[in-house]
Chains A and B, each alone.
Chain A
Amino acid sequence: MTDATIGRASVPTAQEILEPSPGAMLRRRIFGHAGIVIGGFVLLVIFLMALLAGVISPGDPYDQVLDRKLIPPVWFDSPKATWEHPFGTDALGRDYLTRLFYGARISLLIGFSAMLISGIIGTTLGVLAGYFGGRVDMVVNFILTTRLSLPVILVALAVVSLVGSSLTVVIWVLGLLIWDRFAVVMRSATQQVRNLEFVAAAQALGCSKTRIIMTEIMPNIVNHLTVVATLEMAHAILLEAALSFLGLGVQPPEPSWGLMVSEAKGLMFFDAWLITIPGAAIFALVLSINLLGDGIRDVTAPENRN
């Protein structure tokens, strides 16, 4: 560099030199985001509960001890409360904390699997509609409108009751029903990306459509996909809880949180904690996933904030 250029703007300023790398900036944004930190932490705790349910549980989720039924949690001022059952026992004398731990497995499993199925359906439809537009878009839009006009809970209940209830059926029914948001978001995201110059460049280079979609479009809409995926997982968990609550989701004696609330319904006026605990568990899980999803959106695409 010659002396002549000194003082010109081409010389990097101190500020530019001190600017952290993009990776470090992203890390700082992630760990500086309260929603991500809190949501991530709660989700991690629930995930560990589910993973280690067999190890950390104080009892067995199915063991009924009828002379030890309806023991209140330890924080209740009751002579029956005991550290043997920190969260008490249900009407059949099963340890509530253990059932809560095992219930986390069911919620996470159903939420994740249903999200995966709906994600595949919705993303495929949305990307196709967004990329090809025209007639494809019209057909996808039609399918989407039809799907939206079907009442989700009602159809899910009816189908589960007709086909017969099991974990797999619940997962498939939910997965086949809740792909609408994936399709909507992926469609508009693809539309935005496909009009950008690098897609035109890839087309000009003669890349195949599959290749363009997989290597040019997908990487640029994956952050939207992550956000919808978290929201839909939360949605699926809420729906499973509602189905189980109505008696048409996961069947007894499985410890689904929604089912636990349902089983305690008759006793709620006497032992309200029986519905408070599993309800709060669903709330915490869904809240943590939503916080994480909102956080990912804030961090990856700050311009899309609300």
Chain B
Amino acid sequence: MLQYMLKRLGVAVLVALTVSLITFSMIYLSGDPAIALAGESATEEDISNIRKFYGYDRPIIIQYLDWLWRALQGDFGQSHYLKSSVAGVIFERLPTTMLLGACAISFALILSIPLGVLAAIRPNSLIDRFALTIAVIGQAMPSFWFALTLMLWFGITWRLLPITGSSSWANFVMPAIALGYYVTPGVMRLTRAGMLEVLASDYIRTARAKGLRPMPVLFKHALRNAILPVVSLAAVQFGFMLGGSIVIETIFAINGLGFLAWESIQRADLPVMQAIVLVLSVFYIALTFLSDMLNAFLDPRIRVR
């Protein structure tokens, strides 16, 4: 178990370093960052001053290591636009996005796991078809369009929920649904497939042959095994969702990380963009690492050797 943990941790750290390198190299995508920063009317002298000021005149590897070293200490530099520390801005916005993500994944799991289980218990029944329809529609619906449609109905036509902002819980209902709905099909399909496979397994037959009633068979013996891959998928999807929150936050004007990312892209505020990509990537890596650990803990085949 310990060996497994250390190995996973090593890979996670290595991936995080690679991601940081990719994130860092983003500044060279548009050519010379100094020219981009200086603007169109800048003179040669302005550009070389900026280059010196930001340290772009040093070898790239030094620049990267310097940037990484600062980033590790929580220093992502200064925002070009906001004239304040990038880390400060990010950690101010992060809780909102986390809250939105947590609401969205809760909504998705509460909807998809019971549906997936019910669909697996009664394959080809009405509820199975209903679940399948939801999954097929969910996979094909553009999230921004779904969000706008929700807004139109719940916000304008029925006036049930506020359209924009992030001041009260009611503001989070529609964004959480819009964000979480996209995750539902995958989780539901995996739950259904896992349950179908487990329910057809020999040990479920053994449990029934012992005389266990349907509920203990379903919850103690089947769900416990079928839920393991769902835990991993939910963690992965939570990570994806934070990345995807940029669309939803922009639409509902929720003051989170996604909205900040969109604003920074509009303003060409490179340090903020870089930091957001890095933070979300590292968060995803940490999340998958934790889900691996949780899985190992729940699965005795990995935990006890």
- Residues of A at the B interface (CB closer than 8 Å) are 142, 145-146, 148-155, 157-159, 161-164, 234, 238, 241-242, 245-246, 248, 258, 261, 265, 268-269, 272, 275-276, 279, 282-283, 286-287, 290-291, 294, 306
| 19 new A-B contacts at CB < 8 Å, known A246-B262, A290-B136 | A142-B11, A145-B15, A146-B15, A148-B236, A149-B239, A149-B284, A151-B281, A152-B240, A153-B243, A157-B265, A158-B273, A164-B30, A234-B140, A238-B143, A242-B144, A275-B145, A279-B148, A283-B141, A286-B142
Question: If the complex has contacts A161-B265, A258-B142, are A291 and B243 also in contact, measured as CB distance less than 8 A?
Answer: no
* Contact with B277, one of A154, A275, A294 (Cβ below 8 angstroms): A154
For chain B residues 77-95, which have a beta carbon within 8 Å of chain A? none
Chain B residues closer than 8 Å to A157, beta-carbon distance = 246, 261-262, 265
Residues of A contacting B: mostly: helix
Interface centre among A158, A275, A276 (most CB of B within 10 A): A158
22 contacts between A and B (CB under 8 A): A142-B11, A146-B15, A149-B284, A150-B277, A151-B242, A151-B284, A152-B243, A153-B244, A153-B247, A158-B26, A162-B29, A164-B30, A234-B140, A242-B144, A246-B247, A246-B262, A261-B148, A268-B151, A275-B149, A276-B149, A286-B139, A286-B140
Of B148, B246, B273, which is in contact with the most chain A CB atoms at under 10 Å from its CB? B148
> Which A-chain residue is minimally distant from B132 (CB atoms)?
A306
Q: Is B100 an interface residue (CB 8 A)?
A: no
Chain B CB count within 10 A is highest, among A150, A151, A157, for: A151
Residues A151 and B240 in contact, CB atoms below 8 Å apart? yes
Query: Chain A's nearest CB lies how many Å from the CB of B182?
Result: 9
- CB contacts (< 8 Å) of B26 on chain A: these are 158-159, 162
0/1 string, B128-156, CB within 8 A of A gives 1: 00000000110111111100110110001
Chain B residues 219-271 with CB under 8 Å of chain A are: 236, 239-240, 242-244, 246-247, 250, 261-262, 265, 268, 270
Q: Are A149 and B250 in contact (CB under 8 A)?
A: no
Number of inter-chain CB pairs below 8 Å: 131
Of B140, B145, B265, B280, which one neighbours A261 at CB under 8 angstroms?
Answer: B145
* Chain B: interface residue total (CB-CB under 8 A): 51
A152 to B239, CA, bound (A): 11
Write the chain A residue with the least CB distance to B141. A283
Taking a contact as CB atoms closer than 8 A, the residue among A154, A242, A268 that contacts B142 in the complex is A242
- Given the known inter-chain contacts A145-B11, A149-B15, A283-B145, please indicate yes or no for A163 contacting B281, CB distance below 8 A: no
Taking a contact as CB atoms under 8 Å apart, the answer to whether A282 and B145 are in contact is yes
> B178 CB to closest chain A CB, in angstroms?
12
Contact B145 A287 (CB under 8 A): no
* Docked CA distance A283–B144 (Å): 11
Contact in complex: B148, A159 (CB < 8 Å): no
How many Å lie between the Cα of A287 and that of B132 in the bound state?
A: 13
Q: Whole-angstrom distance between the alpha carbons of A269 and B139 in the complex? A: 26
CB distance from B250 to the nearest CB of A (A): 7
Cβ contact within 8 Å between B277 and A241: no
Q: Is B183 an interface residue (CB 8 A)?
A: no
Residue interface bits B260-303, CB-to-A below 8 A is 1, else 0: 01100100101001001100111011001000000000000000
Q: Please give the distance in Å from A116's CB to the nearest CB on chain B.
A: 21
Q: A265: nearest residue on chain B (CB-CB)?
A: B148
With A142-B15, A242-B143, A279-B149 already in contact, the answer to whether A150 and B247 are too (CB < 8 A) is no
> Does B37 have its Cβ within 8 Å of any Cβ on chain A?
no
Write out the residue numbers on chain B whose beta carbons fall within 8 Å of the beta carbon of A148: 236, 284
Q: Is B19 an interface residue (CB 8 A)?
A: yes
Contacts A153-B244, A242-B247, A261-B144 given; indicate if A162 touches B281 (C-beta within 8 A). Answer: no
